[in-house]
Amino acid sequence: MRVELREIRKQFGPVKANDGISLVLEGGQIYGLLGENGAGKSTLMKILSGYQPPDSGQIFLNGRPVRFHSPAEALSGGVGMLYQDPLDIPPFRVIDNYLLGRESGLGLNYKAARRQLRELAGRYNFAIDLDATIDSLSLGERQQLELMRLLAGGAQVLILDEPTTGISAEQKELLFDSMRRLAAQEGKTLILVSHKLDEVQELCQHAFVLRRGQLVGQTGIPCPTVKLVEMMFGQAPPRSQRPPFEPGDPVLEVEAATLADARLRVENVSLAVPAGEIFGLAGLEGSGQRHLLRGCAGLLRPEHGRIRLAGQDVTHWSYHRRQDAGAAYLAAGRLEEGLIAGLTLTEHMALVRPDRSFMVDWNQAHREITGRISHYHIVGRPDSTAGELSGGNQQRLLFALLRDRLRLLLLEHPTRGLDVRSADTIWQLLYRRREQGTAILFISADLDEIIERSDRIAVFSGGKMSRIVLARETTVDELGHLIGGQA
Q: What are phi and psi of 266, to 5 degrees?
A: -115, 120
Predicted confidence at residue 105, as pLDDT, reads 59
| DSSP tag of 334 | I
For residue 281, what is the domain's CATH number?
3.40.50.300
Q: Note whether residue 97 is domain-resident.
A: yes
Q: Note whether residue 241 is domain-resident.
A: no
Residues 117, 39 within the same domain: yes
Residues 295, 386 within the same domain: yes
Predicted confidence at residue 318, as pLDDT, reads 94
Q: Three-state SS for 300?
A: coil
Q: Note whether residue 243 is domain-resident.
A: no
Residues 155, 17 within the same domain: yes
Predicted confidence at residue 29, as pLDDT, reads 94
Predicted confidence at residue 398, as pLDDT, reads 93
> 10-residue block means of pLDDT along the chain (487 residues)?
94 86 94 87 92 94 93 92 81 87 69 89 86 82 87 92 74 86 92 87 93 90 86 72 81 94 87 95 86 94 94 94 94 86 94 82 94 89 89 87 94 83 86 93 89 93 87 86 71
- Quote the number of domains for the chain: 2
Predicted confidence at residue 101, as pLDDT, reads 67
Residues 305, 444 within the same domain: yes
Predicted confidence at residue 237, as pLDDT, reads 65
Q: Note whether residue 239 is domain-resident.
A: no
Domain extent at residue 78? 3-233
Pairing of strands 278-282, 456-461: parallel
* Residue 483 burial by Cβ neighbours in a 10 Å radius (0-12, 13-18, 19+): buried
Mention every residue, 6+ apart, whose C-beta is less than 8 A from residue 150: 75, 80, 81, 82, 158
| DSSP tag of 23 | E
Predicted confidence at residue 106, as pLDDT, reads 62
**Crossing angle for the helix pair 110-123 and 139-152, nearest 10 degrees?**
110
Residues 49, 144 within the same domain: yes
